[in-house]
């Protein structure tokens, strides 16, 4: 582990009292339950999920308010990306950075590029407006390490003006070994590497070329070079105690089965978290895969692969595949509020104390949520059943059922069993981008997106959609409005099990669901 850093110290000062309190609650919770709530593979819920679990305190301190590294944190804390890194040193078949629609949300896409100075101003403006924004990431739109000067200049400026903000970056790994020491020097605690293969034969189908040491390499040679550099970079980071998340794009027929091998390879090199994401592929994106009709996985295929890898290491299930200029909680994008014109006109008053005070409140909310869940879990303790099912939840964040069915832009998906409620993903149901696909019945779209769920929890729902959901076999539940998700879901599940027991209902399995591929509206 590298030495405790200035940045960590600053974060530590933020809410020492609350952190201790939280740590105690988490500790007590972990002791009570063994590790997390998912049952089965205990590993899954440790670290990436709710509590500290078996994580060393030093690592828990690093992840507990990072929305991407802690599933539990993502309900409360926000992140932002600054698009200071336009250049890239490799070409991927799922990426086309030329395409930039303001209404579209996927990695590699950005509406405007920033200079490091503009980025630093933007970070201060956002941090002042959104006090729960704790993480600044550089994720492109190209590769941060193909733009090392811009990336590190940005880090330097932000470390000076907003020392409590965690810095992180996301890279393809090709240039990573050359920059590991600089990354460590800037106290970057979190690095994400996108690793789609460890076999160059597979890689040759994903990467048409890489540019390295003044030369463009293609085919097997390119993929071999990339995988060697990625593995070396990963090892160098973990040696220095920097937490590594590995992102993998699941491409059916190309690397879907191979990702189990990738999972083993990155785990053995000390990766902390594995994020398997569905391929986003649509002809209008203009990517090679989009144009040649390569499909993305279904919800069931994705979940099956994530479940298969879960026994091996922590899996990230809450990734929203956000843009290189995203701002806000993971489920939202407030980047439109912070365009360069708007930021430059803003009077920014960076008030560390008010940020601290706000975050202390967030911690209170978080502790209350954990306590509520604990209560219900105890109630579930006597239940014996093999039934495991999925439910969808309409939420605006904070771990509450607080969104109207008709306003939801996404649904969280929770798996319920007698081991408790486990977050396993989310489904986007935004309306199609204007000028993209034609108008489609949004209710049908929603039903297709959550078709594998037995129930949908909402704050409110109209009579019409209610009837249609029931017809589709999905129970709309509005009796837990503005209550905690996990507690409510467990209460509902207990009743469900009782109904099955008494013969009032018969438990049947649900079908598959669709992962949205089209262009999406990101504005509120």
Partner 1 sequence: MTLKIVASQCTSCSACEPECPNVAISEKNGTFVIDPKKCTECIGHFDVPQCAAVCPVDDTCVIDNAYPRYQPTA
The nearer residue to partner 1, 216 or 257, going by C-beta atoms, is: 216
The nearer residue to partner 1, 107 or 420, going by C-beta atoms, is: 107
The nearer residue to partner 1, 88 or 133, going by C-beta atoms, is: 88
Taking CB under 8 A as the criterion, the residue among 45, 147, 321, 398 binding partner 1 is 147
Q: Report the C-alpha gap between 491 and 500 in whole angstroms.
A: 15
Quote the least distance from Cβ 141 to partner 1, whole Å: 8
The nearer residue to partner 1, 211 or 437, going by C-beta atoms, is: 211
The nearer residue to partner 1, 232 or 288, going by C-beta atoms, is: 288
The nearer residue to partner 1, 48 or 172, going by C-beta atoms, is: 172
Question: Can you say whether the dihedral through the CA atoms of 70, 263, 303, 406 is positive or negative?
Answer: positive
Determine contact, residues 233/227, Cβ cutoff 8 Å: no
The nearer residue to partner 1, 95 or 309, going by C-beta atoms, is: 95
Backbone phi, then psi, for 186, in 5-degree steps? -90, 10
Q: How many CA atoms lie within 13 A of 7 on its CB side?
A: 24
Taking CB under 8 A as the criterion, the residue among 64, 66, 79, 97 binding partner 1 is 97
User: Is 215 a residue that touches partner 1 (CB under 8 A)?
Assistant: yes
User: Is 151 a residue that touches partner 1 (CB under 8 A)?
Assistant: no
Taking CB under 8 A as the criterion, the residue among 98, 463, 502, 503 binding partner 1 is 98
Quote the least distance from Cβ 222 to partner 1, whole Å: 12
Q: Report the C-alpha gap between 52 and 46 in whole angstroms.
A: 7
Residues 6+ away with beta carbon under 8 Å from 208: 91, 93, 218, 222, 288
DSSP state of 381: T
Point out which residues pair with 417 in neighbouring strands: 420
Q: Which of residues 113-132 bind partner 1 (CB under 8 A)?
A: 113
- CA 272 vs. chain centroid, Å, equals 14
Element (H, E) at 393: strand 389-393
Q: How many residues sit close enough to partner 1 to count as binding (CB under 8 A)? A: 16
Taking CB under 8 A as the criterion, the residue among 214, 382, 386, 503 binding partner 1 is 214
Determine contact, residues 320/67, Cβ cutoff 8 Å: no
DSSP state of 266: H
User: Is 91 a residue that touches partner 1 (CB under 8 A)?
Assistant: yes
How many beta carbons lie within 10 A of that of residue 485, not counting itself? 26
Q: Which of residues 344-363 bind partner 1 (CB under 8 A)?
A: none
The nearer residue to partner 1, 341 or 439, going by C-beta atoms, is: 341
The nearer residue to partner 1, 33 or 91, going by C-beta atoms, is: 91
Residues 6+ away with beta carbon under 8 Å from 227: 195, 197, 198, 199, 200, 203
Quote the least distance from Cβ 428 to partner 1, whole Å: 26
User: Is 89 a residue that touches partner 1 (CB under 8 A)?
Assistant: yes
Quote the least distance from Cβ 286 to partner 1, whole Å: 11
**Both tokens assigned to 503:** 């013969």
The nearer residue to partner 1, 118 or 402, going by C-beta atoms, is: 118
User: Is 82 a residue that touches partner 1 (CB under 8 A)?
Assistant: no
User: Is 88 a residue that touches partner 1 (CB under 8 A)?
Assistant: yes
Residues 6+ away with beta carbon under 8 Å from 33: 377
Quote the least distance from Cβ 213 to partner 1, whole Å: 10
Q: Is residue 141 reached through a cis peptide bond, with omega within 30 degrees of 0 on the bond before it? A: yes
Nearest to 274 by CA among 283, 286, 266, 282: 266
**Both tokens assigned to 148:** 């090392």
Provide the 3-class DSSP secondary structure of residue 428: strand
User: Is 86 a residue that touches partner 1 (CB under 8 A)?
Assistant: yes
Q: Give the range of 161-169, 190-198, 208-216, 261-269 binding partner 1 by CB under 8 A.
A: 208-216
Point out which residues pair with 412 in neighbouring strands: 393, 426
Quote the least distance from Cβ 92 to partner 1, whole Å: 10
User: Is 291 a residue that touches partner 1 (CB under 8 A)?
Assistant: no
Q: Give the range of 45-53, 212-220, 265-273, 307-315 binding partner 1 by CB under 8 A.
A: 212-220
How many beta carbons lie within 10 A of that of residue 228, not counting itself? 15
Taking CB under 8 A as the criterion, the residue among 211, 350, 358, 437 binding partner 1 is 211
The nearer residue to partner 1, 114 or 447, going by C-beta atoms, is: 114
**Residue 262, Cβ density class (10 Å: 0-12 exposed, 13-18 middle, ≥19 buried):** buried
The residues of the shown chain that bind partner 1, judged by CB under 8 A, are 86-89, 91, 97-98, 113, 141-142, 146-147, 211, 214-216
């Amino acid at each position: 582990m590298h030495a405790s850093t200035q940045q960590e110290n600053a974060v530590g000062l933020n809410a020492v009292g609350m952190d201790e309190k939280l740590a105690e609650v988490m500790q007590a919770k972990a002791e009570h339950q063994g590790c997390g709530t998912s049952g089965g593979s205990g590993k899954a819920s440790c670290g990436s999920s709710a509590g500290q679990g078996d994580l060393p305190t030093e690592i828990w301190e690093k992840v507990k308010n990072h929305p991407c590294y802690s599933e539990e944190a993502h309900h409360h804390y926000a992140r932002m990306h600054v698009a200071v890194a336009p250049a890239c040193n490799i070409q991927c078949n799922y990426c086309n950075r030329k395409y930039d629609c303001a209404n579209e949300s996927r990695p590699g896409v950005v509406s405007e590029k920033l200079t490091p100075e503009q980025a630093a101003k933007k970070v201060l403006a956002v941090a002042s407006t959104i006090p729960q924004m704790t993480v600044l990431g550089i994720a492109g739109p190209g590769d941060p390490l193909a733009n090392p000067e811009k990336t590190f200049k940005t880090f330097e400026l932000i470390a000076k003006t907003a020392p409590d903000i965690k810095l992180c970056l996301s890279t393809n790994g090709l240039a990573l070994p050359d920059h590991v020491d600089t990354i460590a020097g800037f106290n970057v605690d979190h690095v994400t590497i996108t690793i789609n293969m460890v076999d160059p034969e597979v890689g040759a189908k994903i990467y048409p070329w890489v540019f390295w040491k003044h030369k463009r390499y293609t085919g097997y040679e390119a993929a071999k070079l990339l995988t060697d550099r990625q593995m070396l970079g990963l090892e160098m980071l973990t040696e220095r105690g920097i937490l590594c998340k590995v992102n993998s794009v699941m491409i059916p027929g190309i690397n879907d089965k191979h990702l189990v091998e990738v999972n083993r390879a990155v785990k053995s090199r000390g990766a902390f978290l594995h994020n398997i994401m569905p391929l986003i592929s649509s002809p209008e994106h203009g990517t090679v895969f989009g144009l040649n009709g390569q499909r993305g996985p279904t919800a069931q295929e994705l979940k099956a692969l994530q479940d298969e890898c879960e026994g091996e290491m922590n899996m990230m299930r809450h990734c929203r595949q956000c843009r290189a200029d995203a701002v806000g909680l993971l489920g939202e994008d407030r980047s439109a509020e912070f365009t360069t014109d708007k930021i430059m006109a803003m009077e920014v008053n960076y008030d560390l104390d008010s940020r601290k005070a706000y975050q202390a409140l967030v911690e209170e909310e978080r502790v209350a949520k954990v306590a509520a869940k604990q209560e219900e879990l105890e109630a579930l303790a006597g239940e014996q059943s093999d039934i495991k099912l999925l439910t969808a939840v309409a939420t605006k964040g904070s771990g509450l059922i607080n969104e109207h069915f008709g306003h939801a832009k996404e649904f969280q998906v929770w798996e319920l069993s007698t081991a408790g409620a486990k977050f396993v993903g989310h489904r986007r149901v935004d309306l199609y981008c204007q000028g993209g696909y034609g108008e489609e019945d949004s209710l049908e779209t929603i039903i297709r997106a959550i078709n594998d769920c037995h129930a949908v929890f909402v704050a409110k729902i109209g009579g019409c959609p209610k009837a249609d959901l029931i017809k589709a076999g999905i129970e709309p539940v509005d009796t837990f409005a503005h209550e905690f998700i996990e507690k409510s879901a467990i209460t509902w599940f207990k009743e469900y099990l009782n109904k099955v027991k008494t013969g009032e209902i018969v438990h049947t399995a649900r079908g598959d669901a669709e992962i949205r591929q089209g262009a999406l509206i990101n504005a509120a």
